[in-house]
Chain A
Amino acid sequence: MISFLTISIIQATVAIATPLYIGALGGLFNERVGVVNVGLDGIMLSGAFAAAITSYYTQSAWMGVLAALTVGAVLGLLHAAICIEFKADHVVSGVAINILASSLTVFLLQLLFNNKGQSPSAPKIGQISNLDSIPILGPILNNMSYLTIIGLVLILLSHFFLYRTKMGLRLRSVGENPYAAQSLGIPVRRYMYLSVIVGCALVGLAGAFLSIGMLNVFTKNMTAGRGYIALAAMICGRWTPLGSLGASIFFGYVLAWQMNAQGLAIPAQILEIIPYLTTIIVLAFVAKRARGPAHVGKIFAPSEH
């Protein structure tokens, strides 16, 4: 019990899980309106970059957060335009965004700082402090980034929005059957655009956590595949905010072990694959219950239907 749930493991779990559940939530807003987004990793990377350099130039971490949201939204608009307007393959667009993000961030690093590896250090987002006096919760909450809390609030708000409001119901109906939704007078395309843009802005926010939440610097390709783990968390969480949160915390816990694994007989590489294997197993064995929105990845072409 003690060694499996120490304060440091809990803190590491939360830190690793934060960009995962914020990213998964962003991915969910894409998929819930029927848009597949495998570009999460690239959008996260762009968000991390935008946050770090804006925070560096303005000396304000919150301006960095705003920049990350904006860059995420812009990439979301690009993705939405390619998928909805140009009726292109969603996965192709995602792959394009990933390649664009990894090359453009290095290009700009070189141009701005003459350094391909990393940005200068920048102010980071604040953390909760001075809670040592509270028993048990105090040490856990201490040093927790404000973004972690904001992420949790966003998860709860999204849950309420999707399942307790009329707009949320409509949004979900767009991903299940856009033609039926349209016939009921729902502005399908507007829902798709807005949901993808908001979702991608959240993915940018997840990136901001990586660069100026956990650290205070942007490093080349710093997402290291976290966008894909967020995608995995979304799937394992069955496309729901609370499920995504649960899966992210589970993955965060497994990955937190990596840091404490020196004394362990399990090689770090084995722990690394657990999120990915879990996703494959979930899809293979509970595929019927783990279905995504029915219209996900398909092209919405009202005139041809």
Chain B
Amino acid sequence: MNTSRLKHFFWQILPSVLAVLSALLIGAVIIFAIGENPLQAYAAMFQGAFGDPSSWAETLQRATPYIFGGLAFSIATRSGLFNIGIEGQMYVGAIAGAIVGFSIHNIPAFLHIALALAAAALAGYVWAIIPALLKVKSGVHEVISTIMLNYVAYALTAYLTVRVFHEPGAVAQTYKVDPSAILPALMPPNKLNTGFIIAIVLAIVIYVFLFYTPWGYNLRVTGLNPGAGRYAGIKSTRIVLRAMLMSGAIAGLMGAERSLGIYGRFINSFSPGYGFTAIAVSLLGQNHPLGIIPAAILFGAFENGASFMSLQVNVPRELGLILEALIIVFIAAEHFFRDGLRSMLKGDKS
């Protein structure tokens, strides 16, 4: 790697590194304020996240939906769309995967899994068609339409769970999927499953797509400057549509990984906000498919480590979530960091 590429890489990841460090610093102040030792708390957090193979497995398990979600968000963002509807697309994907999982019987596992994943991707895709069409046909901003569709998805999946596929009992959940549709676990008894491998492969595929194919090039140009794209003969409408639909399909897979790999069924309102946290993950990874992987693992580590930490020191495990939120606040101020530091380091007085 030559120096100019290294320099470029440095400037690219610097805001993310600073955001994480700033969040950890504020987190330390919070820990100190409640009368605990920040170093001790962070050490416990690190040990809980990476201390032994089983904690690694749990960290990666928690990171998996964030890899999918980060990829879904980044591909839309790269085309200039803000997909805040990942959560809803994930829900319809999760239930579609589960329905195929418990409705089809006596077929080989690889086929069953493939069908269930395809159904999940299709459901997310269909859920993304609505905002995509509204955007290109009526000029409706995708932020509003996808937020609204999230709630439609919650209600629809709740309806299907409670009224149509309800497994008798007090819990709002569907029937169990057949064993042949379960995504195999990688390190049992941990729930880390082949969905993680699929997520990593998908990240690499999207990386190649974005940076080494003409479609990816067109998508990035459209996102950076729709006007310039049109001058260059790029059909921006079609690209925006395609990016949104790909984003929805990936979000659908994200849901299926949970329903087929973790729960073995669809559970009503199972998500603690994966689709929204995924936005933070994508931004932390600079919307780069390969940057999203470490960002997602970091978030998985925060959540897993914080659980362990809360048993060691008297700090509630929600600290992990607070760190995530602080990171996104600091990422939001990215330009401030980047420009400010650049001018500081270069002695630029302008």
Docked-complex contact A96 and B328, CB < 8 angstroms: yes
Docked-complex contact A88 and B335, CB < 8 angstroms: yes
The interface residues of chain A lying within 8 Å CB-to-CB of B156 are 269, 273
Interface size on B, residues (CB 8 A): 46
Docked-complex contact B280 and A95, CB < 8 angstroms: yes
Return the contact of A100 from the options B151, B162, B329 (Cβ within 8 A): B329
Chain B nearest CB from A46 CB (Å) reads 12
The interface residues of chain A lying within 8 Å CB-to-CB of B277 are 99
User: Which chain B residue lies CB-closest to A299?
Assistant: B335
- Complex Cα–Cα for A90 and B316 (A): 30
- Complex Cα–Cα for A106 and B321 (A): 10
Chain B nearest CB from A106 CB (Å) reads 5
User: Which chain B residue lies CB-closest to A279?
Assistant: B148
Docked-complex contact B134 and A284, CB < 8 angstroms: yes
- Complex Cα–Cα for A287 and B329 (A): 32
Chain B nearest CB from A252 CB (Å) reads 16
Docked-complex contact B144 and A107, CB < 8 angstroms: no
Return the contact of A87 from the options B155, B159, B162, B335 (Cβ within 8 A): B335
Docked-complex contact B316 and A283, CB < 8 angstroms: no
B 133-152 binary contact with A (CB < 8 Å = 1; else 0): 01000111101110111111
- Complex Cα–Cα for A280 and B152 (A): 11
Return the contact of B134 from the options A36, A86, A116, A283 (Cβ within 8 A): A283
The interface residues of chain A lying within 8 Å CB-to-CB of B328 are 92, 95-96, 99
The interface residues of chain B lying within 8 Å CB-to-CB of A95 are 84, 276, 279-280, 328
The interface residues of chain B lying within 8 Å CB-to-CB of A102 are 273, 321
Chain B nearest CB from A145 CB (Å) reads 26
Enumerate A71-111 residues with CB–CB distance to B below 8 Å. Answer: 78, 82, 85-89, 91-93, 95-96, 98-100, 102-104, 106-107, 110-111
Docked-complex contact B318 and A106, CB < 8 angstroms: yes
- Complex Cα–Cα for A97 and B268 (A): 25
Partner-binding segment picked from A56-64, A126-134, A175-183, A227-235: A227-235
Docked-complex contact A103 and B321, CB < 8 angstroms: yes
Chain A nearest CB from B97 CB (Å) reads 20
Does B298 lie at the interface of the complex (its beta carbon under 8 Å from any beta carbon of A)? no
Does B192 lie at the interface of the complex (its beta carbon under 8 Å from any beta carbon of A)? no
Q: Take A103-B318, A225-B151 as given contacts and tell me if A287 and B159 are in contact as well, using a CB distance cutoff of 8 Å.
A: no
The interface residues of chain B lying within 8 Å CB-to-CB of A103 are 318, 321-322, 324-325
Enumerate B305-350 residues with CB–CB distance to A below 8 Å. Answer: 316, 318-319, 321-322, 324-326, 328-329, 331-336
Does A38 lie at the interface of the complex (its beta carbon under 8 Å from any beta carbon of B)? yes
Chain A nearest CB from B284 CB (Å) reads 11
Q: Take A100-B326, A235-B144 as given contacts and tell me if A273 and B321 are in contact as well, using a CB distance cutoff of 8 Å.
A: no
User: Which chain B residue lies CB-closest to A286?
Assistant: B138
Docked-complex contact B151 and A88, CB < 8 angstroms: no
Interface size on A, residues (CB 8 A): 45
B 276-312 binary contact with A (CB < 8 Å = 1; else 0): 1101100100000000000000000000000000000
Identify the interface centre among A82, A87, A235, A280: most chain B CB within 10 Å of its CB. A280
User: Which chain B residue lies CB-closest to A285?
Assistant: B138
Chain A nearest CB from B76 CB (Å) reads 12
Chain A nearest CB from B176 CB (Å) reads 23
- Complex Cα–Cα for A277 and B144 (A): 11
Return the contact of A111 from the options B34, B138, B150, B151 (Cβ within 8 A): B34
Docked-complex contact B318 and A284, CB < 8 angstroms: no
Return the contact of A273 from the options B145, B155, B322 (Cβ within 8 A): B155
Return the contact of A96 from the options B84, B148, B152, B280 (Cβ within 8 A): B280
Docked-complex contact B324 and A276, CB < 8 angstroms: no
B interface majority secondary structure: helix
User: Which chain B residue lies CB-closest to A92?
Assistant: B332
Q: Take A88-B335, A228-B151 as given contacts and tell me if A38 and B84 are in contact as well, using a CB distance cutoff of 8 Å.
A: yes
- Complex Cα–Cα for A89 and B73 (A): 15
The interface residues of chain A lying within 8 Å CB-to-CB of B230 are none
B 68-95 binary contact with A (CB < 8 Å = 1; else 0): 0000000000000010100000000000
Docked-complex contact A111 and B158, CB < 8 angstroms: no
Chain B nearest CB from A97 CB (Å) reads 8
Does B163 lie at the interface of the complex (its beta carbon under 8 Å from any beta carbon of A)? yes
Chain A nearest CB from B135 CB (Å) reads 11
Return the contact of B324 from the options A78, A99, A107, A270 (Cβ within 8 A): A99
Q: Take A86-B333, A88-B333, A267-B159 as given contacts and tell me if A111 and B325 are in contact as well, using a CB distance cutoff of 8 Å.
A: no
The interface residues of chain A lying within 8 Å CB-to-CB of B276 are 95, 98-99
- Complex Cα–Cα for A302 and B139 (A): 26
Docked-complex contact A99 and B163, CB < 8 angstroms: no
User: Which chain B residue lies CB-closest to A280?
Assistant: B148
Return the contact of B149 from the options A110, A225, A276 (Cβ within 8 A): A276
Chain A nearest CB from B62 CB (Å) reads 15
26 contacts between A and B (CB under 8 A): A38-B84, A38-B143, A85-B336, A86-B332, A86-B334, A93-B329, A95-B276, A95-B328, A99-B277, A99-B280, A99-B325, A100-B322, A103-B318, A103-B321, A104-B325, A106-B316, A107-B318, A111-B34, A269-B158, A270-B159, A273-B155, A273-B156, A276-B148, A276-B151, A277-B152, A280-B148
Which 6 pairs across A and B sit closest by C-beta, in order of nearness? Answer: A103-B321, A100-B325, A107-B318, A110-B316, A269-B159, A276-B148
For the complex with contacts A269-B156, A273-B156, A283-B138, 16 further pairs of A-B residues with Cβ separation under 8 Å are A36-B143, A86-B334, A89-B332, A99-B321, A100-B325, A100-B326, A100-B329, A106-B318, A228-B150, A228-B151, A235-B144, A269-B163, A277-B152, A284-B138, A285-B138, A287-B139
Q: Which residues of A contact B (CB under 8 A)?
A: 36, 38, 78, 82, 85-89, 91-93, 95-96, 98-100, 102-104, 106-107, 110-111, 116, 225, 228, 231-232, 235, 267, 269-270, 272-273, 275-277, 279-280, 283-285, 287, 297
